[in-house]
Structure 1
């Protein structure tokens, strides 16, 4: 499917540099603290689990519940957060999410027993899921189309940075207070700081101009655009957004009823497929169980903990490379390349586990191929899926549709996270990674046959294209 990706959207004036550029950059920094919290709260359990087990008397069953309940909470939070974002506004929703992060974190830190801890992990999951559905929408709607890719991807940078920070902070805290039976509480407490920063920062941030237009608050929307665009660009872009919003009001779209519209149903199918296949790469099985995987590969327990930090480091490096490439390479080409690489490294991990004799060489081969898988995944598929979910849906159902897609993404995440240790235990490392490779081939077929190109087009142009193409 060939598309012109170089022409400016609908003849809009170029997005020139100016004071508004700094304001836009500040908006991106503050909003993506939601991504940092997302990453830290999903990664911190890795190091906190062992001291938590002895302190609270967790069994294997309650341990699994405490770990996985956040993921199920995130699936619910994605749906609820998407709807609240449509009703209350993107900015107000992020403020609410920051408060929920604070409550959930403090509840976990002060939990006297595992049921209380599990409840507050569920609360944290609601915030994580709502952030995953709201922050990319907010960034995509406030960014000019030329910078949309890099701005939305900053959220993914903050997610993987939060996970990496959790690995490092856990190690440091364990070195300092490791003999303290409540050391896990210190690890979890750190997440209060970015939650406070997110809340205070968002108090000074503007609402999404596209959401304001949808609520017929045009003067406020223009004022926001003038904060983050040059004067001429703000006026031209406002006219485009207003025209599209009028069209959407006339078509009475906005929620589950839109599933009856063929072209919207097709887009949601594409979005769900992207989210599910992103998780079926197994990235979170590595991020949650990396230490155990490396121990089974042949590392000692202490060496595996240190080696696992490489997964966090190369996750950050990968996303940094992805950010640099995002607006230079077409989305489809990057997705196809990313799934080709991850499938290749899945095969290499499987073959190493199957063919190499047990020992240090085997352990290091598996480590290298797992790290290269993480780097490839986070440099392409990870950020691209979040970006494309923020790009492909029409304005009035954007949050509803993203909430639905991210709900399915989290359910896929939960299934992989819960099933991975059992499958590895029953089948071994090699067959498990061969299964991931097979799923990668299915993902390549899906992308090649179903996923459209979105780079270099305004959100409004994309809607016109999809309405025509899939009606």
Structure 2
């Protein structure tokens, strides 16, 4: 008799679990369309720039070193504003609504860059696109973290980084393919127009995902939050356990000071400064100097444009492989351990690249040795640093101000990104290949920052992390 009762119940639980897994899979896939757009929009500029520097009568925009840096960095400056503004929208109206609004900006910005008739228009359109990129970078990891649950949070949030690098790989491949097959003026416009596709997918997908249960609970919609949790966790018991933690956190929040007073508390300010410091650490590795300018670097060693674009596909392939490796590693090693390991290799490869570019003769050996340094750098950057950065941005900050502080910290990260993107071609022109040694020195300082100031968050729920940070900081 007992087996006749148990089997249907077991089957029902298995079906509930499968349904919950499907919903989480769909939700993560939809949310990471924003990350795919992010990756494509930041990666495609590497393939478009060599054609945009051509004179207007050859289909280009006649870019020089200054306007090249301006066009590249305008998206990133827009991203700083987007990540900051999206924090307010995300906290006020919900993560899902924020993603829906950002999808419209992705579509409009991509269309604007593809049709831009001048440098000024291109800068404005890239800035608009950057608002969407930055907003997505702040909202997507938080949304995934809040629907994932403690056991799967690290792996699922890291898929955000996987989709970013997949978008960049897609951009590099399409750049090389279009350059090799379409010998037409203004080919860069086709490259930029394709960016509308993930924006459209994100817009449609937001109508098929649930709202964040943590956001619902923070807004006092406890019944709605519990309903969503039951759909996401697969069992009523698991949902109720998580709901009990959220209710306890909400009760504690009632005793806390108002948001403006909370933001004055020392432990919250320290957390924000750590978040900003992590953004500096991630960007001043110099990663986006390589993601945006690898074709330019390789052309300086004697490779032709098409060969440099084809070689740059290696950046995307290594980044995707490394991110998959990072998703595996994040479930097994602490955040601090991974960051410090990555930074040690980053310092070594920046110094090695500086030596290759300064002291080796200009030939194919120099070209491929430089590319090898870049690829090893990217392997450890994308496996050990980038996914950990985005994971920490989703879990460091207290629920009451998570959207605001995540948006603020990520906006500073984008300003650091813009600084690197704008200054790199100017620095190369002024200081030559010694620029890479400068990156190495900066990354030694970043390594010391992580060692002395970053707390460990592995294995804790979002509520436990908040209690730990308040106690330890």
Matched with 1:145 is 150
Partner of 1:336: 340
Between stretches 431-440 and 396-405, larger displacement belongs to 431-440
Partner of 2:116: 111
Report what 1:163 is aligned to. Answer: 168
Alignment of 1:311-326 (within 5 A): 311-326=315-330
CA offset at residue 457 of structure 1? 0.3
Q: Distance in 1 between the 2:301 and 2:236 partners? A: 59
CA deviations 1:410-438 (Å, max 9, x no partner) are 11111111111122222222x22211111
Tell me the matched-pair count: 452
Between 1:75-84 and 1:55-64, the stretch displaced more is 55-64
One of 219, 244, 250 as aligned partner of 1:245: 250
1:268 aligns with 2:272: yes
Determine helix, strand or coil for the equivalent of 2:49: helix
2:51 and 2:445 map into 1 onto residues whose CA distance is 40
Q: Which residue is equivalent to 1:436?
A: 439
Spell out the pairing of 1:37-116 with structure 2 (5 A cutoff): 37-53=37-53, 54=56, 55=59, 57-60=61-64, 61-116=66-121
Q: Distance in 1 between matches of 2:175 and 2:356?
A: 30
The answer as to 2:135 corresponding to 1:124 is no
Output the CA distance in 1 between the equivalents of 2:307 and 2:345: 27
- Cα deviation for residue 73 of structure 1 reads 0.4
Counterpart of 2:229 in structure 1 is 225
What does the per-residue CA deviation read over 1:36-76, in whole Å, with 9 as the maximum and x for residues that have no partner?
Answer: 00011111122223433433543424443222211110011
Residue of 439, 457, 460 corresponding to 1:457:
460
CA drift at 1:184: 2.1
In structure 1, what is the Cα distance between the partners aligned to 2:377 and 2:67? 31
Say if 1:91 and 1:120 are closer, same or farther in 2 by CA, change over 3 A. same
**Which deviates the most, 438-447 or 420-429?**
420-429
SS of residue matched to 1:375:
helix
Residue 197 in 1 paired to residue 201 in 2?
yes
1-side partners of 2:120 and 2:183: how far apart?
24
Partner residue, 2:24: 24
**Cα 1:30/1:271, change in 2 over 3 Å:** same
Alpha-carbon spacing, 1:219–1:295, altered in 2? closer, same or farther (3 Å): same
> For residues 306 and 189 of structure 2, what CA distance do their matches in structure 1 show?
22
Q: What secondary structure, in the 3-state scheme, does the structure 2 residue paired with 1:464 have?
A: helix
Contact preservation (8 Å) 2:79, 2:131: yes
TM-score (norm 1): 0.92
Q: Which moved more, 1:168-177 or 1:51-60?
A: 51-60
Asked whether the equivalents of residues 340 and 451 of structure 2 are also in contact (C-alpha less than 8 Å), the reply is yes
The 8 Å contact of residues 315 and 378 in structure 2, kept in 1 or not, is answered as yes
- In the alignment, does 2:370 pair up with 1:349? no
Q: Residues 254, 176 of structure 1: CA spacing in aligned structure 2 closer, same or farther, 3 A cutoff?
A: farther
Which of 364, 369, 374 is residue 365 of structure 1 equivalent to? 369
- Rounded to whole Å, the distance in 2 between the matches of 1:146 and 1:20 is 14
Q: Is the 8 A contact 2:180 2:306 kept in 1?
A: no
| 1:359-398 correspondence to structure 2 within 5 Å | 359-398=363-402
Q: Which TM-score applies when normalising by structure 2?
A: 0.92
Question: Is 1:284 the counterpart of 2:295 in the alignment?
Answer: no
Report the CA distance shift for 1:194/1:59 in structure 2 as closer, same or farther (over 3 A).
Answer: closer
User: Per-residue deviation at 1:385?
Assistant: 0.5
Runs of 4 or more, structure 1, over 4 Å off, are none
With 31-40 and 107-116 compared, the bigger mean Cα shift is at 107-116
What 5-or-longer segments of structure 1 have no aligned partner?
1-15
Tell me the CA shift for residue 398 of structure 1: 0.8
Say if 2:40 and 2:171, in contact at 8 Å, map to a contact too: yes
Give me the whole-angstrom Cα distance separating, in 2, the residues matched to 1:349 and 1:186.
Answer: 33
